[in-house]
Amino acid sequence: MVDIFTNDFEEGDFSAWTSTTGAPTIVHAPTHHNSHAMQASDTQNIYATISFGAHYNTFYCRFYARWSALAATATSQTRPLRLVRDTDAAVMVLRIASDEIATYATPAGWATTALAFNTAQWYCMDVKFVYHAANGEVRVYVDGTERVTRTGIDTTGAGNSVYKALLGLTSGGTTATTFNGDCFKAADAYIGPEVAGGTVKKGGGLVNSMMAMLNSKMLYSRKDFQLNLPSFSPRAAI
């Protein structure tokens, strides 16, 4: 896997990002991990933008998301992620309501999947996008489980592929909420949820995930396993 961009806001600002719109902020709580996360409060048009400097026909990204309020149905929803080309024309949009997840690709349009989301809870959101006239794809994984599968669709309506990602409360949202985002990563392959010291790889299985945790310096060091037992001498048989 080749990383395209990674940021968990630990700089305490948006200096790693290309720009911001509508004044999102950096907060110390809530965070998914470490001590900083981004925050945006309103309905729409408060987000951070990262420009990758090139178009990607196959694009993956992962981020953690949390909302203070969510409403039911597509008429009251929030849009945490928008992928656009160099002219800012939308290539893919992710939409969330309390009872569904929806994705937009052009010219294929919207597709909706029933799925419950809670407020005040972190979710790992993984997105795959493939730009193609006949074999385009949009896949969304929530906490490591594939929830949206759109294959064999036309995704070329914007005229080019992914050049930028917008994270936060992007345009078109209608639900007043506070969005928190953390641990954003873009790459050329599936990324997966974080574990201590890494990420859970799709298809890696429980054993590999546990090995990653055990090998992590975040979980232990050798000195943690040194046993300080009292010395003793063998006793003669009675």
User: How many CB atoms within 10 Å of residue 182?
Assistant: 24
Q: What is the tally of structural domains in the chain?
A: 1
In this predicted structure, what is the pLDDT of residue 26? 98
Radius of gyration of the chain (CA): 21
Please report whether residue 217 resides in a domain: no
Please report whether residue 211 resides in a domain: no
For residues 6 and 185, give the distance between their C-alpha atoms in angstroms, rounded to a whole number: 4
For residues 127 and 195, give the distance between their C-alpha atoms in angstroms, rounded to a whole number: 18
pLDDT in tens, the chain (238 residues): 999 999 999 999 999 999 999 999 999 999 998 999 999 999 999 999 999 999 999 999 999 999 999 998 767 899 999 999 999 999 999 999 999 999 999 999 999 999 999 999 999 999 999 999 999 999 999 999 999 999 999 999 999 999 999 999 999 999 999 999 999 999 999 999 998 655 544 444 443 444 444 443 333 333 333 434 444 344 443 3
For residues 63 and 70, give the distance between their C-alpha atoms in angstroms, rounded to a whole number: 18
Please report whether residue 212 resides in a domain: no
In this predicted structure, what is the pLDDT of residue 73? 76
For residues 44 and 176, give the distance between their C-alpha atoms in angstroms, rounded to a whole number: 8
In this predicted structure, what is the pLDDT of residue 158? 97
Please report whether residue 201 resides in a domain: no
Please report whether residue 90 resides in a domain: yes
Task: Tell me the CA distances in angstroms from 112 to 5, 73, 148, one per residue in order.
Answer: 28, 10, 8
Please report whether residue 140 resides in a domain: yes
For residues 6 and 187, give the distance between their C-alpha atoms in angstroms, rounded to a whole number: 9
> Which domain range does residue 56 map to?
3-190
Beta strands at 109-114 and 177-187: parallel, antiparallel or unpaired: unpaired
Cβ–Cβ under 8 Å, residues 50 and 56: no
Tell me the one-letter amino acid at 91: V
In this predicted structure, what is the pLDDT of residue 236? 40
In this predicted structure, what is the pLDDT of residue 196? 62
Please report whether residue 198 resides in a domain: no
Please report whether residue 139 resides in a domain: yes
55: tokens are: 């178009």
In this predicted structure, what is the pLDDT of residue 38? 98
In this predicted structure, what is the pLDDT of residue 198? 52
72: tokens are: 């039911």
CATH label of the domain that carries residue 79: 2.60.120.200
Contact residues for 236 (Cβ-Cβ < 8 A; gap 6+): none
In this predicted structure, what is the pLDDT of residue 74? 64
DSSP string, 143-155: TTEEEEEEEEE--
For residues 102 and 15, give the distance between their C-alpha atoms in angstroms, rounded to a whole number: 30
Please list the residues that pair with 179 across neighbouring strands.
40, 67
